[in-house]
Each structure stands twice: as C-alpha cells, then as structure tokens.
Structure 1
C-alpha cells in the first residue's frame, strides 16, 4: 500500500521507495527527499556517528525505535522547512517553522478554514493554518490539530523554555 500511495512522491523513485521511506519519527518523516536531507543534517552534525538512512533499513528503523532519532528528525524538519517565498503573509516569506510559530503579531489572527474531514468551517489562527499546510500538506484533521495546539498553548507547557 505504501508503495502505491507514496511510490512517486517526495522524491521516491518507485519500486519499494514508498515503503522504505514511509513516515517515521515524531514528525512522520516521509519520502526519499526528506530522508536524504535528514541524513545530511544528521551526518554533518555527527561526523563520528554517520548513518545511512537511504540504504540501511536498520538505520531507517532507528527513526522510529530510537527516541534520539525520532526527536532529531522532527528538529531537522522544524529547522529546515520554510514558508514559501510567494506566500500570502509577506513577513513570513522564507522564515522557518519555528520562527512562524513564535510570531505572535501575525500568528494569532483568527481565520476561517474548512476542515476537510468534518466539512465544517472552523476558526483557527494563522499559525495553525499555515503549520498544517507546511507540515501535513493540507487541511485534513484541522479541528483535532487546532484543539491539540490550544491545549498545549493553554497549559503553558513550554513556559520554562524561554
């Protein structure tokens, strides 16, 4: 199934690429392109512990089974993904996800968006809408994502990390 759905997406080249480069880790790193970029990110930062996420299934599995790699794959993604240069919010163009998440001036503006799952129009912040698109590629599960984000934000879980 993974080969059918993802076989030619995200840099996958058919064959078993859909399965080999399926979603793993906290961020669900998916696709040959993302695995290649994560491999470069990791190996450049850890020259004495190089990993071959492209060709070694055991190394790929560590993204799921080893908390270090599960977390690092998310950190890589968070620090590598940027807002499109032609994006609607000019002040976010070229900025990284972590910068967008911290932008209280633009990020707290409430917008209306249709949740593709419930087919309901819901209110969510610009940050929630943009992050959903940049991380997940669309708007499925918006209501759940919005609610989870609000729970985390309201609980002030990251208050001590300033």
Structure 2
C-alpha cells in the first residue's frame, strides 16, 4: 500500500467502490463485459467514478454482481424469498459497543446486503423504512 492510497481509493460511486484492489478488479470486470472502453482505468484515474454518473452506475453493477455472502452475489440474495424477522437485535457498533438496537419487521435480505456493503448495520432502520415503502409501492413490479 502506498501513501495516499486510502484517500485515493476511498468510497466512490453509487455503492461506494473502495480499496485499490477493488478499483482494479472493477475495471477488469467492466472491460471483460464490454461495458467500458479499454482506455478507461479506474485504478489509474479513480476520480472518474465520481465525475461520471455512468461510471458511478457501472461500479455499482460490479459491486452488485461480485460481492458475495456464502457464495451468493447480492443480486441472488435480493431475489431470494425474503424472511421478515418480527424483531431483530444487534449492537450499535461492530465491536459490540454502543448499546443494543432492536428493530421490528426486519428483512433478512436487506440486513445481509447492508452488512456486506457497509460492514455493519449502519442506518438499518432508515433502510428498512425505505425498502418497505418501495416494496409496498410496487415500483419494480414490471421488472420481475
């Protein structure tokens, strides 16, 4: 790791592409899919993921298709039959500090995806409210 890599490869894009190795892997994946021209390299020019809405979206597609939990990518987890936990409790911080938070009617799929992308359950209550609102409005029903 070189000095400045932490800042240079900070979270960018719609799902916060982070770390130099991920910028490299994302670029290669998008090249292999034919979605990114060969002269574009996010590792060499990480700010492109911030400067272009198209690149921000493409980096999110890479995260969505490649991040895995127990061999399943995030898309497959989202498509699984969801389990709603009547109550779900977790510590505020990953290291077990900050007290316990208990939420009602928590989507297991949303919880798994939130943990994988963010490293913990940051803003899970707000995410759950948004998820429920979108699900009830059937916004994506035409894409099934």
TM, length-normalised to structure 2: 0.84
Return the structure number with greater relative CO, CA threshold 8 A, min gap 6: 2
Asked if residue 121 in structure 1 is aligned to residue 102 in structure 2, the reply is: yes
Whichever structure has more helix as a proportion of its residues is 1
Runs of at least 4 residues off by over 4 Å: none
Unpaired runs of 5+ residues, structure 1, are 1-12, 85-93
Unpaired runs of 5+ residues, structure 2, are 94-98
Q: Contact 1:97–1:131 (CA<8 Å) still a contact in 2?
A: yes
Listed as ranges, the matches of 1:120-159 within 5 Å are 120-123=101-104, 124-159=106-141
Give the Å deviation of 1:115.
6.1
CA distance in 2, matches of 1:142, 1:65: 28
Give the Å deviation of 1:109.
3.2
Q: Contact 1:115–1:140 (CA<8 Å) still a contact in 2?
A: no
* Local SS of the residue matching 1:120: strand
Match of 1:67 among 37, 53, 73: 53
Whichever structure has more strand as a proportion of its residues is 2
